[in-house]
Amino acid sequence: MSTYANEIQTAAKLCETNGNAWDAISPESVARMRLQNQFKTGLDIARYTANIMRKDMEAYDQDSSKYTQSLGCWHGFIGQQKMISIKKHFEGNTDRRYLYLSGWMVAALRSEFGPLPDQSMHEKTSVAALIEELYTFLRQADARELGGLFRELDAAREAGDEVKAKALQNQIDNHVTHVVPIIADIDAGFGNAEATYLLAKKMIEAGACCIQIENQVSDEKQCGHQDGKVTVPHEDFLAKIRAVRYAFLELGVDNGVIVARTDSLGAGLTKQIAVTKEPGDLGDQYNSFLDCEEVDPADLSNGDVIINRDGKLLRPKRLASNLFQFRKGTGEARCILDSVTSLQNGADLIWIETEKPHVRQIGAMMDEIRKQVPNAKLVYNNSPSFNWTLNFRQQVFDAWKEEGKDVSAYDRANLMSAEYDESELSQAADEKIRTFQADAAREAGIFHHLITLPTYHTAALSTDNLAKEYFGEQGMLGYVAGVQRKEIRQGIACVKHQNMAGSDMGDDHKEYFAGDAALKAAGKDNTMNQFG
């Protein structure tokens, strides 16, 4: 890691070699600008963050309490504020805390078509654009924070306080970047394997070190928590996993991470019958889950599709949509096969989209997967599509009933009712929710916990609260008491919104470029000074 002093020395030598023409260039100012922009390209970021993820995966293999987490962010500012908050609340430490880029939120919030459902109808380039935007804001957070340290350093020098100046220089040398890994959703690849490869390259060039891809049919893609999902045979999915790996390797991100997501638990349909060459191969295993009936050649109808298995003629059930149906109750077995196959063919992590957050259900599948891939690790969606309160109250109710505990005071079908909010059952359920991440990391192989859409919901909730107060009887007090005063009390950096938008950095640059002639914004009449 280059120190502040080293950067100044390097810049000074560069200026010297260019003679009098560069006399007005300050080596220290050059050093500051270089330190404020340590990541020059998205590929720099992808390589740096890929190494972080790989180290975190190794640490988790040794100690399951070292799981990782992220929140989905739909705008660069949201991602930036999240990382600023993490550094503020956790002593400047960003360890094992990532960002998540949700395809759902890109579709709902970033498409030029306006809000769309999670069906891959948005512009594919908007995914890479959001990755680039997130990292632009994170790099700006670095520059802003370092700029503040540089101004403090100048003040300490001016005051002759060498002890403080040395301490500040140490902070600068050991600055922790806001740049962290992003797990980026490529949906089902937006087309064939070539289309997947092309988009993956754009995402990696924007900074993505980790790409998540799912085994649905691209043109039939649905949100993992909706009905109507259609999967593809394993070989089709593996071709896309290989396409993403080739994209990483072509761009020199050799440690790039691939998350293979299976939607088979909730997907009862397939568009294709898999190609099979011999009994027991991948295609045959995929087809073995189809809902079929044995038929006699005399009973065949025009256009029937027939499978020959063990000397029997089987007719898969084909729907009016021309899709084929899997047998009911095969979802978990298909998830296990999907996950093992993906890990054995180039994926690094797996994602099983479940219908509820239940540690035992997830753990049972992971136990089966780990029989074949012992170090299998899961990325899990702590989804806002789950009713966490109801699910965990029902889990506690069922556990208590099984233990013989009296549950007659509770109506299982109505456990969401506010009348139970202060009850013993509710408290037990809330404790299970609180410890869910640690429990699932320990008992179900979950390396990474993410919430896909949290900032979508927080934006809606905070806006609703402000609108209710500001446009109601509280008027301006609705904003002051509900927002600004809380920002000040909680030390929210963007209470100084001009500073957050870069006005102080702009002043620094004006001074570098024009010296005493610079017209700066942060003078005594700047109202931002009211916030201290």
- Contact yes or no for 289/298 (Cβ under 8 A): no
What is the DSSP-derived secondary structure letter of residue 118? S
Stretch (H or E) spanning 433: helix 424-434
Q: Look at residue 304 and tell me whether its pLDDT is greater than 90.
A: no
Contacts of 247 (CB under 8 A, 6+ apart): 197, 200, 201, 204, 256
Q: Look at residue 297 and tell me whether its pLDDT is greater than 90.
A: no
User: What single letter denotes the amino acid at residue 194?
Assistant: E
Beta strands 312-316 and 292-294 are antiparallel
Distance CA 133, CA 121 (A): 21
**Span 319-339, average pLDDT:** 93
Could you identify the residue written with the tokens 């691939």? 258
Distance CA 107, CA 102 (A): 9
pLDDT level of residue 379 (50, 70, 90 thresholds): very high
Q: Look at residue 285 and tell me whether its pLDDT is greater than 90.
A: yes
pTM of the model: 0.94
Residue 208: count other Cβ atoms within 10 Å of its Cβ. 34
The pLDDT score that the predictor gives to residue 228 is 62
Confirm whether 335 is a catalytic residue: no
pLDDT level of residue 530 (50, 70, 90 thresholds): low
What is the DSSP-derived secondary structure letter of residue 248? H
Distance CA 362, CA 436 (A): 12
- Helix, strand, coil % in the chain, rounded to nearest 5: 55, 10, 35
Determine the 3-state secondary structure of 279 from DSSP.
coil
- Rg over alpha carbons for the chain, rounded to the nearest Å, is 28
Least confident of 173-177, 350-354, 383-387, 504-508: 504-508
Beta strands 210-214 and 182-185 are parallel
Dihedral sign for Cα 162, 164, 165, 167, please.
positive
Q: Look at residue 170 and tell me whether its pLDDT is greater than 90.
A: yes
Residue 228 CA to its chain's centroid (Å): 24
pLDDT digits (tens, 9 = 90+) for 68-77: 999 999 999 9
What average pLDDT does the chain have?
A: 92
- Contact yes or no for 181/349 (Cβ under 8 A): no
pLDDT digits (tens, 9 = 90+) for 189-230: 999 999 999 999 999 999 999 999 999 887 676 654 555 678
Total count of residues recorded for the chain = 532
Could you identify the residue written with the tokens 């202060």? 422
Nearest CA among 115, 175, 133, 184 for reference residue 150 = 175
- Contact yes or no for 254/248 (Cβ under 8 A): yes
Range list of H helices, 110-192: 125-158, 162-173
Query: CA torsion 372→373→379→385, rounded to 10°?
Result: 0
pLDDT digits (tens, 9 = 90+) for 92-113: 999 999 999 999 899 999 999 9
Could you identify the residue written with the tokens 């922790």? 176
The pLDDT score that the predictor gives to residue 46 is 98
pLDDT digits (tens, 9 = 90+) for 17-67: 998 999 999 999 999 999 999 999 999 999 999 999 999 999 999 999 999
Distance CA 249, CA 201 (A): 10
Range list of H helices, 306-378: 331-343, 359-372
Name the token pair of 399: 């556990």
Rounded percentage of the chain residues whose pLDDT exceeds 70:
96
Distance CA 258, CA 50 (A): 11
Annotated catalytic residue, options 209, 223, 292, 335 = 223
Least confident of 143-157, 179-193, 274-288, 506-520: 506-520
pLDDT level of residue 356 (50, 70, 90 thresholds): confident
∠ CA 451-454-459, nearest 5°, is 170
The pLDDT score that the predictor gives to residue 215 is 92
Distance CA 221, CA 215 (A): 9
- Contact yes or no for 7/31 (Cβ under 8 A): yes
Name beta bridge partners: 232: none
Determine the 3-state secondary structure of 240 from DSSP.
helix
The pLDDT score that the predictor gives to residue 333 is 96
pLDDT digits (tens, 9 = 90+) for 443-486: 999 999 999 999 999 999 999 999 999 999 999 999 999 999 99
pLDDT level of residue 260 (50, 70, 90 thresholds): very high
Residue 424: count other Cβ atoms within 10 Å of its Cβ. 12
Name the burial class of residue 446, with classes exposed (0-12), middle (13-18) and buried (19+) by CB atoms within 10 angstroms of its CB: buried
Angle, helices 4-17 vs 27-35, to 10°: value is 130
Distance CA 154, CA 172 (A): 13
